[in-house]
Amino acid sequence: MSTKSQFGSKIGLIAATVGSAIGLGNVWRFPAETQANGGAAFLLLYIACVFILGVPVMLAEFSLGRGGRSDAVGVFQKLSPGKAWWIIGAVAILASYLILCYYMVVAGWTAEYLWQSITGNLYETGTSLEQSGDIGAADAAFAARMNNYICSDVSPLIFTYAVIAVNIIVLLGGVQKGIERLSNIMMPLLFVLLLALCCVTLSLPGAGAGLKFFLSPDFSKINAGTVINALGQTFFSLSLGMGILITYASYYPADTRLTRTSVIVSLMSLLVAVMMGCIIFPAVTTFGLDRHPLEGATLVFVTLPEVFAQLPATQLWSIVFFLLLFVAALTSTVSIAEVSIAFMQDRFKMSRVKSCMIVMLPLFVLSSLCSLSFGSLSGVKIFDMSIFDSLDAFTTNVLLPMVSMGVCVYVGWFAPKSLLKSQITNDGTIKSRITSIVLVIIRYLAPVLIAAIMISKFV
């Protein structure tokens, strides 16, 4: 791969990789999983899973990407020519593209709520109901607003198309002028917004009770299901199995320290998750909104707008939060799309512009189907699920674990023997004591745990 397809700085490299890992999994999936699995006990398990399993699997993907210097398919063809291992990369590309189809819709929802927060329309009825003390009516008002919006046809499509257009503009800029430049702006902004929201919610009168639930572990809550959920959250929040880390690592300069990079990315992802916990649990406890389970879309589009409606400067904090959410969604969609674009460039020797258009333009149709599956296409079912939900279930429960399993088996047993060690030590120029540990984990422990995740989804 030519030098023009490398990240231009270490800060940009870290920002882009962190941006690819941090997404809605950290923002709405983590708080919901934490509440459902015993609070701090789940948090500690999750932290352990990130470093015991997440970092080694991430290192395996990084080693493949930089060692093969190609797309998710090309790395296997270069490292093991004539073998069928490239199928792992092909499944990763398929998974990432299917995820992109419905992720654009969710990103469109965040853009719509950001716009509604800016105009003030989001709180036309909810604020007055909250201020009157009728929490139940406000809850119903915000839930109805979310349902009416998601189940409509026109408005979600407009914002989905807008998000796709923004992605195209960024991706046409290439690795340095597009992805890296976006990440250098968006990642610091994301952390500033998170810090601002933390300061607000931690100053609320009920913050102590929320933090106690979040940070005081109850180990009696830990069972096999809790462990499986922590493992699943690890893979989801670090973007493992999507081909993103393989693709981005192919843009890493030769002197990049992969172990340090994997630890920094994991710590940043954990930091975002913990900060979201510090935002959400004090807020929902203070205003009595912990009476319902915290669930993905409901948490973001119903529960948190209720919280903002009870705060001074409601509109300001709503804008800050949905801007934060949009930043997380945008950096994720860009990184997911890059997997397929890199494949088109490397496999078919296409220009950047042509590759972008071939990958992105079909999304105007495919993402429309996902969006309309809540509206006029709601009657179309795949295994009794909507188009949107079926894609989500298939990719999350089947394809991503398959790819992660394949990467571990390949790197652990069948890749060139020198691959992992040479990549972790930068061809012997730096010392590393963890190579043998990482190898044991990806050979034995990781495949067993990934298999447990897959089996748990179907039992």
pLDDT tens-digit series, residues 336-350: 999 999 999 999 999
The secondary structure of residue 382, as a DSSP letter, is B
How far apart CA 159 and CA 138 sit, in angstroms, is 25
Axis-axis angle for helices 363-372, 86-119 (nearest 10): 70
Mean pLDDT of 219-236: 86
pLDDT score at 1: 38
Q: Is pLDDT of 71 > 90?
A: yes
Q: What's the pTM value of the predicted model, to 2 decimals?
A: 0.92
How far apart CA 38 and CA 18 sit, in angstroms, is 27
How far apart CA 382 and CA 99 sit, in angstroms, is 16
Is residue 391 very low, low, confident or very high in pLDDT (cuts 50, 70, 90)? Answer: very high
Is residue 290 very low, low, confident or very high in pLDDT (cuts 50, 70, 90)? Answer: low
Pick the closest to residue 53 from 456, 458, 455, 437 (CA basis). 437
Instruction: Decide which of 31 and 126 is more confident.
Output: 31
pLDDT score at 293: 67
* Bridge partners (DSSP) listed for residue 385: 382
Percent helix, percent strand, percent coil in the chain, to nearest 5: 80, 0, 20
Residue 341: Cβ within 10 Å count: 24
Pick the closest to residue 366 from 109, 160, 101 (CA basis). 101
Beta carbons of 232 and 30 less than 8 angstroms apart: no
pLDDT score at 224: 86
pLDDT score at 3: 42
Q: Is pLDDT of 127 > 50?
A: no
Is residue 334 very low, low, confident or very high in pLDDT (cuts 50, 70, 90)? Answer: very high
pLDDT tens-digit series, residues 347-388 = 999 999 999 999 999 999 999 999 999 999 999 999 999 999
pLDDT score at 132: 47
Residue with tokens 């120029």: 429
List the chain domain ranges: 3-458
pLDDT score at 286: 84
pLDDT tens-digit series, residues 150-161 = 999 999 999 999
Token readout for 354 is 């042509």
pLDDT score at 105: 96
pLDDT tens-digit series, residues 423-438 = 999 999 999 889 999 9
Q: For residue 457, give Cα distances in angstroms to 87, 200, 291, 451, 453.
A: 23, 37, 27, 10, 7
Token readout for 86 is 């490239």
For 3-458, CATH number out of 1.20.1540, 1.10.4160, 2.20.28, 1.10.10 equals: 1.10.4160
pLDDT score at 289: 72
pLDDT score at 137: 63
Q: What percent of the chain has pLDDT over 70?
A: 94
The secondary structure of residue 4, as a DSSP letter, is G
Token readout for 193 is 């917004």
